[in-house]
Amino acid sequence: MKARLRALLLLLLLTLLGCGYRPLGAAPATPQGPPTLAIPPFGNRSVEVGLETVFADALIQVFSQTKAVRITTKPQEADLVLEGRVRSVDQASVAFLDVNRSNVRRVTLRVELALRRPHSGKVLWKDTVVLQEDYVVDPNYHIGEATKTEGIRRAANTMARKVVDKILLVI
């Protein structure tokens, strides 16, 4: 009986080793090191100016903190390219001082992302992310725009952390 159990366990162990199963993060090291990743400025189909670099910079910042990829500025020389496009930016009031004045607004951003190999054009990962972030409205226009911009930056940083987690599972 014990011999059968040992044989069954040995067969199970050999099967797991032979199928390519390995714990996450235990991938064999490649001789050339981690792949290079380029993140060009995003496309922007919204009326909000400056989002092209806000989202790309957030992703570059988060990816540069991991050792899974090396960031490069040259998409044509990279192993992988992460491209993005801001599809839309919408704003809505979510809290009001009175009937005519809001004091908290919500910005909703729709962003399309795609990870591809530049040489073959093969898309490895694609997603559309919807982000929402609230910000305080200020009667002073410049301060109000600054708080909106800060809300967009927070949304970009949140998106970047989530995207990095998803992409590291793909590469």
Structurally, how many domains does the chain consist of? 1
In a domain, residue 7? The reply is no
Q: DSSP labels for 69-99?
A: -EEES-GGG-SEEEEEEEEEEEEEEEEESSS
- The CATH number linked to 90 is 3.30.160.150
Model pLDDT, residue 118: 92
For residue 132, CA distances in Å to 94, 154, 159 come to 12, 9, 10
> Residue 84 domain-assigned?
yes
Question: What long-range pairs does 60-68 form, CB within 8 A, spacing at least 24?
Answer: 61/157, 61/160, 62/157, 62/160, 62/161, 62/163, 62/164, 63/37, 63/39, 63/160, 63/164, 66/164, 66/168, 67/34, 68/34, 68/168, 68/171
Domain hosting residue 39, numbered range: 35-170
Name the DSSP class of 46.
S
Three-state secondary-structure class, residue 64: helix
**130 part of a folded domain:** yes
Determine the pLDDT at residue 14.
61
What is the full per-residue pLDDT of the chain (171 aa) written as tens digits?
677 767 666 666 666 665 555 554 445 555 578 999 999 999 999 999 999 999 999 999 999 999 899 999 999 999 999 999 999 999 999 999 888 888 999 999 999 999 999 989 999 999 999 999 999 998 898 998 999 999 999 999 999 999 999 998 887
Residue 18 maps to a domain: no
Any domain includes 52: yes
Is residue 69 one of the residues assigned to a domain?
yes
**Quick check: is 123 in a domain?**
yes
CA distance 79 to 76: 9
Tell whether 6 is covered by a domain. no
pLDDT at position 161 is 95
Q: How is residue 7 written in tokens?
A: 């044989």
